[in-house]
A and B are shown apart, each in its own frame.
Chain A
Protein backbone atom coordinates (compact mmCIF):
# COMPACT_ATOMS: atom_id res chain seq x y z
CA UNK A 1 0.00 0.00 0.00
CA UNK A 2 1.43 3.29 -1.04
CA UNK A 3 0.21 6.70 0.05
CA UNK A 4 1.41 10.14 -0.92
CA UNK A 5 4.33 10.39 1.48
CA UNK A 6 6.18 7.33 0.34
CA UNK A 7 7.30 3.92 1.52
CA UNK A 8 10.17 3.64 3.99
CA UNK A 9 11.90 0.27 4.19
CA UNK A 10 13.46 -0.31 7.63
CA UNK A 11 16.25 -2.89 7.90
CA UNK A 12 17.48 -3.30 11.49
CA UNK A 13 18.17 -6.40 13.56
CA UNK A 14 16.67 -4.88 16.72
CA UNK A 15 12.95 -5.59 16.89
CA UNK A 16 12.24 -2.70 19.26
CA UNK A 17 14.05 -0.21 17.04
CA UNK A 18 12.17 -1.51 13.99
CA UNK A 19 8.80 -1.42 15.67
CA UNK A 20 9.29 2.04 17.20
CA UNK A 21 10.40 3.42 13.83
CA UNK A 22 7.42 1.78 12.16
CA UNK A 23 4.94 3.42 14.54
CA UNK A 24 6.73 6.77 14.47
CA UNK A 25 6.83 6.89 10.67
CA UNK A 26 3.26 5.69 10.50
CA UNK A 27 2.23 8.51 12.85
CA UNK A 28 3.99 10.94 10.52
CA UNK A 29 2.10 9.61 7.51
CA UNK A 30 4.67 7.31 5.89
CA UNK A 31 4.13 3.74 4.83
CA UNK A 32 6.70 1.27 6.07
CA UNK A 33 7.95 -2.20 5.57
CA UNK A 34 10.64 -3.81 7.68
CA UNK A 35 13.20 -6.59 7.56
CA UNK A 36 15.29 -7.90 10.42
CA UNK A 37 18.39 -8.48 8.32
CA UNK A 38 19.96 -7.49 5.05
CA UNK A 39 19.89 -11.14 4.05
CA UNK A 40 16.13 -11.33 4.64
CA UNK A 41 15.66 -8.39 2.31
CA UNK A 42 18.01 -9.82 -0.31
CA UNK A 43 16.20 -13.15 -0.22
CA UNK A 44 12.65 -11.75 -0.26
CA UNK A 45 10.76 -12.68 -3.43
CA UNK A 46 8.76 -9.55 -4.12
CA UNK A 47 10.51 -6.53 -2.73
CA UNK A 48 8.17 -3.61 -2.11
CA UNK A 49 8.83 -0.60 -4.32
CA UNK A 50 10.70 1.55 -1.84
CA UNK A 51 11.24 5.31 -1.71
CA UNK A 52 13.93 5.31 0.98
CA UNK A 53 15.86 2.71 2.97
CA UNK A 54 16.61 3.15 6.67
CA UNK A 55 19.58 0.86 7.07
CA UNK A 56 21.27 -0.18 10.33
CA UNK A 57 24.99 -0.08 9.74
CA UNK A 58 25.84 -2.99 12.04
CA UNK A 59 23.87 -6.17 11.58
CA UNK A 60 24.64 -9.86 11.86
CA UNK A 61 25.19 -11.46 8.47
CA UNK A 62 25.40 -8.99 5.60
CA UNK A 63 25.83 -5.61 7.29
CA UNK A 64 24.44 -2.25 6.23
CA UNK A 65 27.44 -1.01 4.27
CA UNK A 66 27.72 -4.32 2.42
CA UNK A 67 24.02 -4.25 1.51
CA UNK A 68 24.43 -0.68 0.24
CA UNK A 69 27.29 -1.82 -1.97
CA UNK A 70 25.13 -4.62 -3.40
CA UNK A 71 22.28 -2.16 -4.08
CA UNK A 72 24.63 0.18 -5.94
CA UNK A 73 26.01 -2.74 -7.94
CA UNK A 74 22.48 -3.68 -8.97
CA UNK A 75 21.99 -0.12 -10.20
CA UNK A 76 19.52 0.90 -7.49
CA UNK A 77 19.13 4.64 -7.05
CA UNK A 78 16.76 4.47 -4.09
CA UNK A 79 18.16 6.72 -1.34
CA UNK A 80 19.76 5.01 1.65
CA UNK A 81 19.85 6.64 5.09
CA UNK A 82 22.12 4.85 7.56
CA UNK A 83 21.20 4.60 11.21
CA UNK A 84 24.22 4.27 13.47
CA UNK A 85 25.40 4.23 17.05
CA UNK A 86 27.83 6.97 18.08
CA UNK A 87 30.81 4.71 17.63
CA UNK A 88 29.94 3.99 14.00
CA UNK A 89 30.13 7.54 12.66
CA UNK A 90 33.37 6.95 10.69
CA UNK A 91 31.65 3.99 9.02
CA UNK A 92 28.66 6.15 8.17
CA UNK A 93 30.86 8.89 6.75
CA UNK A 94 32.60 6.32 4.55
CA UNK A 95 29.17 5.14 3.38
CA UNK A 96 28.17 8.71 2.47
CA UNK A 97 31.35 8.98 0.44
CA UNK A 98 30.26 5.89 -1.44
CA UNK A 99 26.93 7.47 -2.25
CA UNK A 100 24.60 6.99 0.72
CA UNK A 101 22.16 9.86 1.08
CA UNK A 102 22.44 10.57 4.77
CA UNK A 103 23.01 9.12 8.21
CA UNK A 104 21.29 9.50 11.56
CA UNK A 105 22.70 8.64 14.97
CA UNK A 106 20.67 6.78 17.55
CA UNK A 107 18.68 7.83 19.42
CA UNK A 108 16.95 9.97 16.80
CA UNK A 109 15.38 13.37 17.03
CA UNK A 110 11.94 12.66 15.57
CA UNK A 111 11.66 15.99 13.73
CA UNK A 112 15.05 15.46 12.17
CA UNK A 113 14.31 11.85 11.25
CA UNK A 114 11.07 12.76 9.53
CA UNK A 115 12.57 15.78 7.83
CA UNK A 116 15.55 13.82 6.49
CA UNK A 117 13.34 10.99 5.27
CA UNK A 118 10.97 13.47 3.66
CA UNK A 119 13.73 15.31 1.83
CA UNK A 120 15.42 12.09 0.69
CA UNK A 121 12.09 10.94 -0.78
CA UNK A 122 11.46 14.33 -2.35
CA UNK A 123 14.86 14.34 -3.98
CA UNK A 124 14.41 10.77 -5.17
CA UNK A 125 11.03 11.58 -6.66
CA UNK A 126 12.38 14.61 -8.47
CA UNK A 127 15.14 12.48 -9.93
CA UNK A 128 12.61 9.88 -11.00
CA UNK A 129 10.46 12.58 -12.60
CA UNK A 130 13.46 13.93 -14.49
CA UNK A 131 14.37 10.41 -15.62
CA UNK A 132 10.83 9.81 -16.86
CA UNK A 133 10.75 13.10 -18.75
CA UNK A 134 14.10 12.42 -20.30
CA UNK A 135 13.14 8.89 -21.36
CA UNK A 136 9.96 10.31 -22.88
CA UNK A 137 11.90 12.99 -24.69
CA UNK A 138 14.38 10.47 -25.96
CA UNK A 139 11.55 8.35 -27.35
CA UNK A 140 10.21 11.41 -29.15
CA UNK A 141 13.61 12.25 -30.63
CA UNK A 142 14.02 8.66 -31.71
CA UNK A 143 10.75 8.89 -33.68
CA UNK A 144 12.32 11.47 -36.03
CA UNK A 145 13.30 10.38 -39.56
CA UNK A 146 16.99 10.80 -40.54
CA UNK A 147 16.12 13.83 -42.64
CA UNK A 148 14.10 15.41 -39.80
CA UNK A 149 17.05 14.84 -37.48
CA UNK A 150 19.37 16.66 -39.93
CA UNK A 151 16.96 19.58 -40.00
CA UNK A 152 16.71 19.60 -36.22
CA UNK A 153 20.47 19.68 -35.72
CA UNK A 154 20.90 22.64 -38.05
CA UNK A 155 18.04 24.53 -36.35
CA UNK A 156 19.61 23.87 -32.95
CA UNK A 157 22.91 25.19 -34.33
CA UNK A 158 21.08 28.47 -35.00
CA UNK A 159 20.52 28.23 -38.77
CA UNK A 160 17.54 29.94 -40.44
CA UNK A 161 15.18 28.04 -42.77
CA UNK A 162 17.16 29.39 -45.66
CA UNK A 163 20.47 28.36 -44.13
CA UNK A 164 19.11 24.87 -43.49
CA UNK A 165 17.83 24.67 -47.09
CA UNK A 166 21.24 25.67 -48.45
CA UNK A 167 23.12 23.29 -46.17
CA UNK A 168 20.92 20.32 -47.10
CA UNK A 169 20.42 21.34 -50.76
CA UNK A 170 16.65 21.24 -50.43
CA UNK A 171 13.99 23.89 -50.92
CA UNK A 172 13.04 26.24 -48.07
CA UNK A 173 9.51 24.97 -48.48
CA UNK A 174 10.60 21.39 -47.76
CA UNK A 175 12.55 22.67 -44.73
CA UNK A 176 9.40 24.28 -43.45
CA UNK A 177 7.46 21.03 -43.72
CA UNK A 178 10.20 19.05 -41.95
CA UNK A 179 10.44 21.70 -39.26
CA UNK A 180 6.68 21.60 -38.57
CA UNK A 181 6.88 17.78 -38.30
CA UNK A 182 9.79 18.02 -35.89
CA UNK A 183 7.99 20.54 -33.67
CA UNK A 184 4.94 18.33 -33.63
CA UNK A 185 6.77 15.07 -32.88
CA UNK A 186 8.88 16.60 -30.12
CA UNK A 187 5.90 18.58 -28.80
CA UNK A 188 7.88 21.79 -28.53
CA UNK A 189 5.97 25.06 -28.30
CA UNK A 190 8.76 27.21 -29.72
CA UNK A 191 12.16 26.99 -31.30
CA UNK A 192 13.67 28.09 -27.96
CA UNK A 193 12.03 25.13 -26.20
CA UNK A 194 13.14 22.78 -28.94
CA UNK A 195 16.73 23.93 -28.51
CA UNK A 196 16.55 23.42 -24.72
CA UNK A 197 15.12 19.90 -25.09
CA UNK A 198 17.78 18.95 -27.59
CA UNK A 199 20.45 20.20 -25.16
CA UNK A 200 18.98 18.04 -22.38
CA UNK A 201 19.12 14.95 -24.54
CA UNK A 202 22.65 15.71 -25.64
CA UNK A 203 23.78 16.25 -22.03
CA UNK A 204 22.14 13.11 -20.69
CA UNK A 205 23.66 10.95 -23.40
CA UNK A 206 27.16 12.37 -23.11
Chain B
Protein backbone atom coordinates (compact mmCIF):
# COMPACT_ATOMS: atom_id res chain seq x y z
CA UNK B 1 0.00 0.00 0.00
CA UNK B 2 3.01 2.27 -0.32
CA UNK B 3 4.28 4.20 -3.24
CA UNK B 4 7.73 3.55 -4.43
CA UNK B 5 8.95 6.80 -3.02
CA UNK B 6 7.54 6.26 0.33
CA UNK B 7 7.97 7.59 3.46
CA UNK B 8 9.64 4.80 5.13
CA UNK B 9 6.44 2.90 5.04
CA UNK B 10 6.27 0.21 7.60
CA UNK B 11 3.85 -2.61 8.07
CA UNK B 12 2.84 -1.30 11.48
CA UNK B 13 1.98 2.13 10.07
CA UNK B 14 -0.15 0.51 7.37
CA UNK B 15 -1.97 -1.54 9.99
CA UNK B 16 -2.54 1.56 12.08
CA UNK B 17 -3.96 3.52 9.13
CA UNK B 18 -6.16 0.66 8.02
CA UNK B 19 -7.63 0.32 11.50
CA UNK B 20 -8.83 3.95 11.46
CA UNK B 21 -12.52 4.53 10.96
CA UNK B 22 -11.90 7.77 9.07
CA UNK B 23 -10.43 7.88 5.60
CA UNK B 24 -6.78 8.94 5.72
CA UNK B 25 -4.94 10.11 2.62
CA UNK B 26 -1.37 11.34 2.51
CA UNK B 27 -0.03 13.36 -0.38
CA UNK B 28 3.22 15.05 -1.26
CA UNK B 29 3.55 18.79 -1.82
CA UNK B 30 2.35 18.49 -5.40
CA UNK B 31 -0.80 16.68 -4.38
CA UNK B 32 0.33 13.24 -5.48
CA UNK B 33 -1.27 10.56 -3.36
CA UNK B 34 1.24 8.45 -1.48
CA UNK B 35 -0.93 6.72 1.08
CA UNK B 36 -4.60 5.67 0.94
CA UNK B 37 -6.07 3.65 3.81
CA UNK B 38 -8.92 1.10 3.77
CA UNK B 39 -11.53 3.60 4.95
CA UNK B 40 -10.50 5.86 2.05
CA UNK B 41 -10.94 2.94 -0.35
CA UNK B 42 -14.48 2.47 0.94
CA UNK B 43 -15.28 6.18 0.87
CA UNK B 44 -14.06 6.84 -2.67
CA UNK B 45 -14.44 3.44 -4.28
CA UNK B 46 -10.81 3.26 -5.48
CA UNK B 47 -8.31 0.55 -4.60
CA UNK B 48 -5.21 2.03 -3.00
CA UNK B 49 -3.05 0.42 -5.67
CA UNK B 50 -4.98 2.26 -8.39
CA UNK B 51 -5.11 5.70 -6.83
CA UNK B 52 -1.64 5.99 -5.34
CA UNK B 53 0.49 8.06 -7.66
CA UNK B 54 -2.49 10.03 -8.95
CA UNK B 55 -3.26 13.59 -7.94
CA UNK B 56 -5.66 14.44 -5.10
CA UNK B 57 -7.81 16.33 -7.61
CA UNK B 58 -9.07 12.97 -8.90
CA UNK B 59 -11.05 12.83 -5.68
CA UNK B 60 -12.64 16.28 -6.15
CA UNK B 61 -15.46 17.61 -8.29
CA UNK B 62 -15.13 21.06 -9.86
CA UNK B 63 -14.58 23.84 -8.87
CA UNK B 64 -12.17 22.51 -6.21
CA UNK B 65 -10.68 20.15 -8.79
CA UNK B 66 -9.48 23.06 -10.91
CA UNK B 67 -8.35 25.24 -8.08
CA UNK B 68 -6.67 22.80 -5.75
CA UNK B 69 -3.26 23.32 -7.32
CA UNK B 70 -3.56 27.06 -6.65
CA UNK B 71 -4.65 26.44 -3.05
CA UNK B 72 -1.56 24.37 -2.48
CA UNK B 73 0.95 26.65 -4.10
CA UNK B 74 -0.59 29.66 -2.34
CA UNK B 75 -0.04 27.92 0.97
CA UNK B 76 3.43 26.75 0.15
CA UNK B 77 4.46 30.27 -0.92
CA UNK B 78 2.71 32.32 1.73
CA UNK B 79 2.34 29.95 4.64
CA UNK B 80 -1.25 31.18 5.03
CA UNK B 81 -3.43 28.14 5.64
CA UNK B 82 -6.89 27.96 4.12
CA UNK B 83 -7.79 24.62 5.57
CA UNK B 84 -4.86 23.30 7.54
CA UNK B 85 -5.68 23.13 11.22
CA UNK B 86 -9.21 24.38 10.52
CA UNK B 87 -11.18 21.60 8.92
CA UNK B 88 -14.29 22.12 6.85
CA UNK B 89 -17.03 20.51 4.86
CA UNK B 90 -16.05 19.73 1.29
CA UNK B 91 -17.42 17.60 -1.50
CA UNK B 92 -15.60 14.48 -2.59
CA UNK B 93 -15.94 12.65 -5.90
CA UNK B 94 -16.56 8.91 -5.72
CA UNK B 95 -15.10 6.62 -8.40
CA UNK B 96 -18.69 6.10 -9.63
CA UNK B 97 -19.03 9.83 -10.35
CA UNK B 98 -21.42 10.67 -7.54
CA UNK B 99 -20.46 13.33 -5.03
CA UNK B 100 -20.00 12.67 -1.33
CA UNK B 101 -20.23 15.30 1.40
CA UNK B 102 -17.24 14.90 3.69
CA UNK B 103 -15.64 16.69 6.58
CA UNK B 104 -11.96 17.21 5.85
CA UNK B 105 -9.18 18.16 8.21
CA UNK B 106 -5.66 18.56 6.96
CA UNK B 107 -2.36 18.38 8.76
CA UNK B 108 1.13 18.70 7.48
CA UNK B 109 4.12 16.54 8.03
CA UNK B 110 7.55 17.95 7.53
CA UNK B 111 10.14 15.26 7.14
CA UNK B 112 13.38 15.20 5.25
CA UNK B 113 12.85 18.68 3.77
CA UNK B 114 9.78 17.57 1.86
CA UNK B 115 6.34 18.68 2.75
CA UNK B 116 3.63 16.09 3.05
CA UNK B 117 -0.02 16.58 3.80
CA UNK B 118 -2.30 14.21 5.62
CA UNK B 119 -6.03 14.48 5.08
CA UNK B 120 -8.54 12.89 7.41
CA UNK B 121 -12.02 12.59 5.94
CA UNK B 122 -15.32 11.62 7.46
CA UNK B 123 -18.36 10.69 5.40
CA UNK B 124 -21.21 13.14 6.09
CA UNK B 125 -23.83 11.52 3.80
CA UNK B 126 -25.91 10.11 6.66
CA UNK B 127 -25.67 13.29 8.68
CA UNK B 128 -26.69 15.36 5.63
CA UNK B 129 -29.65 13.12 4.99
CA UNK B 130 -30.70 13.55 8.59
CA UNK B 131 -30.26 17.32 8.44
CA UNK B 132 -32.31 17.54 5.27
CA UNK B 133 -35.09 15.55 6.91
CA UNK B 134 -35.03 17.90 9.88
CA UNK B 135 -35.19 20.96 7.63
CA UNK B 136 -38.12 19.54 5.68
CA UNK B 137 -39.89 18.73 8.88
CA UNK B 138 -39.18 22.16 10.27
CA UNK B 139 -40.50 23.90 7.19
CA UNK B 140 -43.61 21.76 7.24
CA UNK B 141 -44.11 22.59 10.90
CA UNK B 142 -43.54 26.27 10.25
CA UNK B 143 -46.16 26.15 7.52
CA UNK B 144 -48.64 24.33 9.75
CA UNK B 145 -47.94 26.85 12.49
CA UNK B 146 -48.62 29.71 10.12
CA UNK B 147 -51.91 28.17 9.04
CA UNK B 148 -52.99 27.52 12.60
CA UNK B 149 -52.00 31.02 13.63
CA UNK B 150 -53.88 32.42 10.66
CA UNK B 151 -56.94 30.33 11.47
CA UNK B 152 -56.94 31.65 15.01
CA UNK B 153 -56.27 35.10 13.70
CA UNK B 154 -59.23 35.08 11.32
CA UNK B 155 -61.56 33.63 13.96
CA UNK B 156 -60.43 36.21 16.51
CA UNK B 157 -60.52 38.96 13.92
CA UNK B 158 -64.01 37.94 12.77
CA UNK B 159 -65.28 38.29 16.34
CA UNK B 160 -63.47 41.57 16.91
CA UNK B 161 -64.94 43.09 13.76
CA UNK B 162 -68.39 41.54 14.19
CA UNK B 163 -68.90 43.25 17.55
CA UNK B 164 -68.68 46.83 16.25
CA UNK B 165 -70.64 45.84 13.13
CA UNK B 166 -73.41 44.50 15.37
CA UNK B 167 -73.46 47.76 17.30
CA UNK B 168 -73.41 49.84 14.09
CA UNK B 169 -76.33 47.89 12.64
CA UNK B 170 -78.38 48.19 15.83
CA UNK B 171 -77.57 51.89 16.30
CA UNK B 172 -78.58 52.69 12.71
CA UNK B 173 -81.78 50.67 12.99
CA UNK B 174 -82.62 52.52 16.18
CA UNK B 175 -81.88 55.84 14.45
CA UNK B 176 -84.21 54.98 11.59
CA UNK B 177 -86.98 54.32 14.10
CA UNK B 178 -86.36 57.46 16.13
CA UNK B 179 -86.13 59.85 13.21
CA UNK B 180 -89.91 60.14 12.94
CA UNK B 181 -90.26 61.17 16.60
CA UNK B 182 -90.14 64.92 16.22
CA UNK B 183 -89.06 65.87 19.72
CA UNK B 184 -85.98 67.08 21.51
CA UNK B 185 -85.34 63.80 23.32
CA UNK B 186 -85.32 61.88 20.03
CA UNK B 187 -83.04 64.49 18.43
CA UNK B 188 -80.56 64.23 21.31
CA UNK B 189 -80.66 60.47 21.07
CA UNK B 190 -80.12 60.61 17.29
CA UNK B 191 -77.06 62.79 17.74
CA UNK B 192 -75.72 60.36 20.32
CA UNK B 193 -76.40 57.48 17.93
CA UNK B 194 -74.46 59.09 15.08
CA UNK B 195 -71.50 59.62 17.38
CA UNK B 196 -71.64 56.03 18.50
CA UNK B 197 -71.82 54.74 14.92
CA UNK B 198 -68.69 56.56 13.83
CA UNK B 199 -66.92 55.47 16.99
CA UNK B 200 -67.77 51.83 16.26
CA UNK B 201 -66.70 52.12 12.63
CA UNK B 202 -63.31 53.33 13.86
CA UNK B 203 -63.16 50.50 16.32
CA UNK B 204 -63.53 48.03 13.42
CA UNK B 205 -60.84 49.96 11.52
CA UNK B 206 -58.49 49.68 14.49
CA UNK B 207 -58.88 45.92 14.50
CA UNK B 208 -57.79 45.83 10.87
CA UNK B 209 -54.87 48.15 11.52
CA UNK B 210 -53.78 45.89 14.36
CA UNK B 211 -53.91 42.91 12.05
CA UNK B 212 -51.77 44.73 9.49
CA UNK B 213 -49.15 45.54 12.07
CA UNK B 214 -49.19 41.95 13.20
CA UNK B 215 -48.59 40.59 9.72
CA UNK B 216 -45.52 42.82 9.45
CA UNK B 217 -44.16 41.26 12.63
CA UNK B 218 -43.10 44.36 14.40
CA UNK B 219 -40.36 46.90 13.88
CA UNK B 220 -37.56 46.51 11.43
CA UNK B 221 -34.22 45.94 13.02
CA UNK B 222 -31.84 47.05 10.32
CA UNK B 223 -28.13 46.64 10.41
CA UNK B 224 -25.45 46.21 7.79
CA UNK B 225 -25.42 42.83 6.17
CA UNK B 226 -23.36 41.21 3.46
CA UNK B 227 -26.01 40.75 0.81
CA UNK B 228 -24.22 37.95 -0.96
CA UNK B 229 -24.05 35.93 2.23
CA UNK B 230 -27.64 36.74 2.98
CA UNK B 231 -28.73 35.41 -0.42
CA UNK B 232 -26.55 32.35 -0.07
CA UNK B 233 -27.86 31.47 3.34
CA UNK B 234 -31.43 31.80 2.03
CA UNK B 235 -30.51 29.46 -0.81
CA UNK B 236 -29.01 26.95 1.59
CA UNK B 237 -32.47 26.33 2.94
CA UNK B 238 -33.37 24.91 -0.44
CA UNK B 239 -30.34 22.60 -0.81
CA UNK B 240 -32.42 19.63 0.06
CA UNK B 241 -35.41 20.55 -2.06
CA UNK B 242 -33.21 21.31 -5.07
CA UNK B 243 -31.33 18.04 -4.74
CA UNK B 244 -34.61 16.16 -4.84
CA UNK B 245 -36.06 18.08 -7.76
CA UNK B 246 -34.54 18.48 -11.16
CA UNK B 247 -34.36 22.24 -10.76
CA UNK B 248 -31.09 24.13 -10.53
CA UNK B 249 -30.51 27.47 -8.85
CA UNK B 250 -27.84 29.73 -10.35
CA UNK B 251 -26.56 32.92 -8.75
CA UNK B 252 -24.82 35.98 -10.12
CA UNK B 253 -23.56 38.78 -8.00
CA UNK B 254 -22.92 41.92 -10.01
CA UNK B 255 -22.99 44.46 -7.21
CA UNK B 256 -20.10 46.52 -5.86
CA UNK B 257 -21.49 47.54 -2.50
CA UNK B 258 -20.96 44.71 -0.10
CA UNK B 259 -22.89 45.78 2.98
CA UNK B 260 -26.53 46.83 2.87
CA UNK B 261 -28.67 48.20 5.70
CA UNK B 262 -31.49 45.67 6.00
CA UNK B 263 -33.42 43.58 8.47
CA UNK B 264 -31.70 40.30 7.81
CA UNK B 265 -34.57 38.00 8.83
CA UNK B 266 -37.19 39.91 6.89
CA UNK B 267 -35.16 40.11 3.69
CA UNK B 268 -34.43 36.41 3.98
CA UNK B 269 -38.15 35.86 4.43
CA UNK B 270 -38.74 37.67 1.13
CA UNK B 271 -36.03 35.69 -0.68
CA UNK B 272 -37.25 32.38 0.70
CA UNK B 273 -40.79 33.21 -0.41
CA UNK B 274 -39.71 34.17 -3.92
CA UNK B 275 -37.44 31.17 -4.39
CA UNK B 276 -40.05 28.83 -2.96
CA UNK B 277 -42.65 30.25 -5.34
CA UNK B 278 -40.31 29.65 -8.27
CA UNK B 279 -39.52 26.10 -7.22
CA UNK B 280 -43.22 25.37 -6.66
CA UNK B 281 -44.09 26.74 -10.09
CA UNK B 282 -41.30 24.71 -11.72
CA UNK B 283 -42.33 21.56 -9.87
CA UNK B 284 -45.79 21.86 -11.38
CA UNK B 285 -44.60 22.58 -14.89
CA UNK B 286 -42.75 20.29 -17.20
CA UNK B 287 -40.05 22.84 -18.07
CA UNK B 288 -36.68 21.22 -18.85
CA UNK B 289 -34.18 22.13 -17.63
CA UNK B 290 -35.92 23.84 -14.70
CA UNK B 291 -33.92 26.85 -13.65
CA UNK B 292 -34.10 29.52 -11.00
CA UNK B 293 -31.78 32.43 -11.47
CA UNK B 294 -31.01 34.70 -8.56
CA UNK B 295 -28.93 37.73 -9.39
CA UNK B 296 -28.02 40.95 -7.71
CA UNK B 297 -27.51 44.17 -9.68
CA UNK B 298 -26.57 47.63 -8.51
CA UNK B 299 -27.73 50.84 -10.08
CA UNK B 300 -28.47 54.41 -8.93
CA UNK B 301 -27.92 53.86 -5.25
CA UNK B 302 -30.13 50.79 -5.30
CA UNK B 303 -29.53 47.09 -5.12
CA UNK B 304 -31.82 44.89 -7.15
CA UNK B 305 -32.24 41.29 -6.12
CA UNK B 306 -33.87 39.49 -9.00
CA UNK B 307 -35.41 36.05 -8.71
CA UNK B 308 -36.53 34.62 -12.01
CA UNK B 309 -37.42 31.23 -13.35
CA UNK B 310 -38.29 29.57 -16.63
CA UNK B 311 -41.57 28.17 -15.33
CA UNK B 312 -45.02 29.07 -16.59
CA UNK B 313 -44.98 32.56 -15.05
CA UNK B 314 -47.98 34.36 -13.64
CA UNK B 315 -51.23 34.16 -15.57
CA UNK B 316 -51.67 37.71 -17.00
CA UNK B 317 -55.17 37.72 -15.56
CA UNK B 318 -53.75 37.32 -12.06
CA UNK B 319 -50.94 39.85 -12.39
CA UNK B 320 -52.91 42.80 -11.00
CA UNK B 321 -53.83 40.82 -7.86
CA UNK B 322 -50.43 39.30 -7.12
CA UNK B 323 -49.67 41.47 -4.12
CA UNK B 324 -53.17 41.58 -2.70
CA UNK B 325 -53.60 39.94 0.68
CA UNK B 326 -55.45 36.61 0.61
CA UNK B 327 -55.04 36.28 -3.15
CA UNK B 328 -53.66 32.85 -3.99
CA UNK B 329 -53.58 30.35 -6.83
CA UNK B 330 -52.11 27.60 -4.66
CA UNK B 331 -54.43 24.92 -3.36
CA UNK B 332 -53.15 25.17 0.16
CA UNK B 333 -51.90 28.73 0.07
CA UNK B 334 -53.33 31.47 2.21
CA UNK B 335 -52.31 34.28 -0.12
CA UNK B 336 -50.29 36.35 2.30
CA UNK B 337 -46.74 35.57 1.12
CA UNK B 338 -46.28 38.17 -1.58
CA UNK B 339 -48.38 40.76 0.17
CA UNK B 340 -46.16 40.50 3.26
CA UNK B 341 -43.04 40.47 1.04
CA UNK B 342 -44.05 43.71 -0.59
CA UNK B 343 -44.78 45.27 2.82
CA UNK B 344 -41.28 44.29 3.92
CA UNK B 345 -39.75 45.78 0.77
CA UNK B 346 -41.69 49.02 1.22
CA UNK B 347 -40.75 49.19 4.91
CA UNK B 348 -37.11 49.12 3.73
CA UNK B 349 -37.76 52.06 1.43
CA UNK B 350 -37.69 49.71 -1.56
CA UNK B 351 -40.28 47.81 -3.53
CA UNK B 352 -41.14 44.41 -4.92
CA UNK B 353 -42.26 44.21 -8.54
CA UNK B 354 -43.25 41.54 -10.96
CA UNK B 355 -42.83 41.21 -14.68
CA UNK B 356 -42.65 38.32 -17.07
CA UNK B 357 -39.10 37.02 -17.39
CA UNK B 358 -37.27 36.93 -20.70
CA UNK B 359 -36.67 33.31 -19.79
CA UNK B 360 -40.40 32.82 -20.06
CA UNK B 361 -41.31 32.48 -16.40
CA UNK B 362 -41.80 34.81 -13.49
CA UNK B 363 -39.38 37.59 -12.60
CA UNK B 364 -39.59 39.32 -9.22
CA UNK B 365 -37.36 42.26 -8.50
CA UNK B 366 -36.75 43.32 -4.91
CA UNK B 367 -35.24 46.78 -4.86
CA UNK B 368 -33.44 48.09 -1.80
CA UNK B 369 -32.00 51.58 -1.38
CA UNK B 370 -28.32 51.68 -0.43
CA UNK B 371 -28.81 54.78 1.65
CA UNK B 372 -30.08 54.19 5.11
CA UNK B 373 -33.77 54.94 5.37
CA UNK B 374 -35.51 55.13 8.76
Residues of chain A touching chain B, judged by Cβ–Cβ distance below 8 Å, are 14, 16-17, 19-21, 23-24, 26-28, 85-87, 106-108, 110, 113
Instruction: Say whether B163 contacts A16, CB under 8 Å.
Output: yes
Q: What bracket does the count of chain B residues touching chain A fall in?
A: 20 to 34
Binds A, one of B83-91, B121-129, B166-174: B166-174
Neighbouring A residues of B170 by C-beta, 8 Å = 17, 20-21, 23-24, 107-108, 110, 113
Instruction: Say whether B165 contacts A107, CB under 8 Å.
Output: yes
CA gap between A193 and B156 in the complex, in Å: 60
Across the A-B interface, the 7 shortest Cβ-Cβ residue pairs? A110-B173, A20-B170, A16-B167, A27-B177, A24-B174, A106-B166, A107-B169
Among B158, B159, B177, contact of A28 (Cβ-Cβ < 8 Å): B177
**Cβ of B92 under 8 Å from chain A:** no
Neighbouring A residues of B199 by C-beta, 8 Å = 16
Instruction: Say whether A16 contacts B178, CB under 8 Å.
Output: no
Instruction: Say whether B158 contacts A19, CB under 8 Å.
Output: no
Neighbouring B residues of A21 by C-beta, 8 Å = 170
Among B164, B166, B178, B196, contact of A27 (Cβ-Cβ < 8 Å): B178
Neighbouring A residues of B155 by C-beta, 8 Å = 87
Chain B: minimal CB distance from A85 (Å):
5
Instruction: Say whether A23 contacts B174, CB under 8 Å.
Output: yes
Chain A: minimal CB distance from B197 (Å):
9
**Cβ of B266 under 8 Å from chain A:** no
Other 4 A-B pairs with CB < 8 A, given A85-B159, A107-B165:
A14-B166, A20-B168, A87-B159, A110-B173
26 contacts between A and B (CB under 8 A): A16-B164, A16-B196, A17-B166, A17-B167, A19-B167, A19-B196, A20-B196, A23-B170, A23-B178, A23-B192, A23-B193, A24-B170, A24-B171, A24-B174, A26-B174, A27-B177, A85-B159, A86-B162, A106-B165, A106-B166, A107-B162, A107-B166, A108-B166, A108-B170, A110-B169, A110-B177
Neighbouring A residues of B171 by C-beta, 8 Å = 20, 23-24
| A21, closest chain B residue (CB) | B170
**Cβ of B189 under 8 Å from chain A:** yes
Chain B, 165-220, CB within 8 A of any chain A CB: 165-171, 173-174, 177-178, 189, 192-193, 196, 199-200, 203
